[in-house]
Structure 1
């Protein structure tokens, strides 16, 4: 592909990404993969260059652009070296007209930026940095020192005791350590959430929003694969991905439970007031993961946020019913919006006045509300809020 053709390909992909953001369609990385699957002529350098252009343009535009061309012209504002590639030649974009629409730079849509008012400018800007490639060493099969010796390009993460960091672009799936279940891809912040649960071997633990099971497997390792670990989710496909991962990791204590939304208690009736620890990593806006999914900020609406806050309250109330007297509930969201994080947890304590917040001792983060907040700028992790509460005896 010529340099101009790469720019036009990026514009085409940006058009698809912008349309998908407005309709709830596929994410940018999925669209990029589909695009190149039908264009075998594009080499690895072409694919990398186009991908970099697409994500640079996405990260730059806070508001959803009117078109892929407007998004790319916004990038040209910062990178004037791209302007000559708009020359109208074959496969290249048309010459830039003086009155064309240009996407404005920004961190997020104005209404959403107002929801992040507890973050300073540096914190907000860091939400769109490129994410690190973090992994967790599975202590059921290995230790960090041995894995670091095996993977010379790896380094220990600064906070999580089992975390390692590899260079961006490393092909994880081909590593023997991954194939054999000695490492799992997991952001360091997510590893710290599992650490905040304080689980021990022999406990009964519920991961109420398990998804594909990253935190479930971290909890199982912390429990030395001893006890009961009930992994729940409403998404059959994601929950189905957990058990093959558990087998690879050598985990045997996981019991998957598929939940029916708004009828969760029916499936969990046998677990009422029996869990030592319940983790609620609740569905949320994902503002803390924009480093990985920057177009997500174009998808979020006020109505969607309101629905998420309502759902989080419901899930927390379900979780409270599962905790034994004196047991622990851990609430987490990969969001930096207080409506979902500190505010949502405070609302839970108001609804359940006999519960009390208890401190969390983590090697990262800063106190925020009744919990701890992790941010890309301060901690080098995805953004999270995490808090812990103790059930009345």
Structure 2
């Protein structure tokens, strides 16, 4: 492909990304993958270049643009080399018209920028959300130790005891150590969240929103594969991915429980007042992960945030039914918005008699409300809110 043809391909992909964002359709990574499958003539360098153009254009636009072309014009406004490729050549984009205007720039749509600012996220912290995330892994303590594990690429040792960092694009999934379950891809912020739980061997722990089980596996390693660890979720498809991952990791202690939304306690009733720890990695807007999924900023509105807040309140209440006296709840969201973090946690403490905030130092994050907030700008992690609540004996 010529450089101009790559720009035109990116424009066409962006049209689909924009349609997907408006209609809750396929995410950008899937759209790009489908394009690659349908255009076998594009070599690996072409695919990488087109992907980079698409994500760069998404990051360059604040509000959702009208078309992929105006999104790319915004990127061309910032990079003269791209502007020069609007040359009308075969397979390339036609020349920029005198009256054509690029899409509006910015971190996110104006309403979301205002919400972030109201949550104490300053301009520098917002700007950091537009960066590229590195690739972090957790060495699986059930099979290896960071200090003695030799990997094809030497990673940077991070503060958590089993955390390593590599450059974005490192093909960890191709390593024998990954296939053998010795390493798991996991953002540094997620590793801090699991450390906050302070789970111990022999405890009864419930991962209430386990999804595909990334944090469940970290909890299993911390528990040394001893005790009761329940991974529950309402999403059958995501939960089904945990079993092969657990087998590869050697985490044989994990029990999976599929939940029926609205009837969660029907499936978890046997654990009522029995859990030492309930880990609530609650569904949220994902604003803290914009480095990885930049188009997420186009998929949100205030109604979505209200819906997430309601789900988070409900999950905290369910968790409170499961914890025994002397136990704890860990509340986690990958959001920087107070309405999905500090406000939800404080509202829980107000309506749940006996529960107390139990903030612990993690060696990362800044206090926010009665919990901690991790950010790309301060901690080099995705954006997270992490809080602990304890129920005294």
TM-score (norm 2): 0.98
Q: Which segments of 5 or more consecutive residues in structure 2 lack a partner in the other structure?
A: none
Could you tell which deviates more after superposition, 53-62 or 98-107? 98-107
Q: Residue 332 of structure 1: SS of its match in structure 2?
A: strand
Cα deviation, 1:247-274, whole Å, max 9, x if unaligned, reads: 0000011000000111101111111000
Aligned length: 391
Q: Is the 8 A contact 1:204 1:229 kept in 2?
A: yes
Offset of 1:128 from its aligned partner?
1.4
Partner of 1:285: 285
Measure the CA separation in 2 of the matches of 1:284 and 1:82.
35
Offset of 1:150 from its aligned partner?
2.8
Measure the CA separation in 1 of the matches of 2:311 and 2:286.
14
Cα deviation, 1:213-239, whole Å, max 9, x if unaligned, reads: 010000000000000000000000100
Cα deviation, 1:36-58, whole Å, max 9, x if unaligned, reads: 11111111111111111100000
Q: Residue 247 of structure 1: SS of its match in structure 2?
A: helix
The alignment status of 1:140 with 2:149, answered yes or no, reads: no
Q: Is the 8 A contact 1:153 1:167 kept in 2?
A: no
Cα deviation, 1:281-337, whole Å, max 9, x if unaligned, reads: 000000100000000000011111110001100111011100001100110100000
Cα deviation, 1:187-221, whole Å, max 9, x if unaligned, reads: 01001100000100000000000000010000000
Measure the CA separation in 1 of the matches of 2:85 and 2:197.
53
Alignment root-mean-square deviation, CA = 0.9
TM-score (norm 1): 0.98
Q: Residue 339 of structure 1: SS of its match in structure 2?
A: helix
Q: How does 1:33-112 map to 2 (within 5 A)?
A: 33-112=33-112
Partner of 1:308: 308
Q: Is the 8 A contact 1:115 1:337 kept in 2?
A: yes
Question: CA 1:336–1:82 in 2, change beyond 3 Å: closer, same or farther?
Answer: same
Q: How does 1:170-209 map to 2 (within 5 A)?
A: 170-209=170-209
Cα deviation, 1:147-200, whole Å, max 9, x if unaligned, reads: 2x333332212x221111122212222101100000001001001100000100
Offset of 1:62 from its aligned partner?
1.1
Q: Is the 8 A contact 2:152 2:175 kept in 1?
A: no
The alignment status of 1:153 with 2:162, answered yes or no, reads: no
Partner of 1:7: 7
Q: Is the 8 A contact 2:136 2:188 kept in 1?
A: yes
Q: Which segments of 5 or more consecutive residues in structure 1 lack a partner in the other structure?
A: none
Aligned structure 1 segments of 4 or more residues deviating by more than 2 angstroms: 149-153
Q: Is the 8 A contact 2:58 2:294 kept in 1?
A: yes
Measure the CA separation in 2 of the matches of 1:69 and 1:110.
21
Measure the CA separation in 2 of the matches of 1:120 and 1:256.
40
Measure the CA separation in 2 of the matches of 1:75 and 1:174.
33
Partner of 1:246: 246
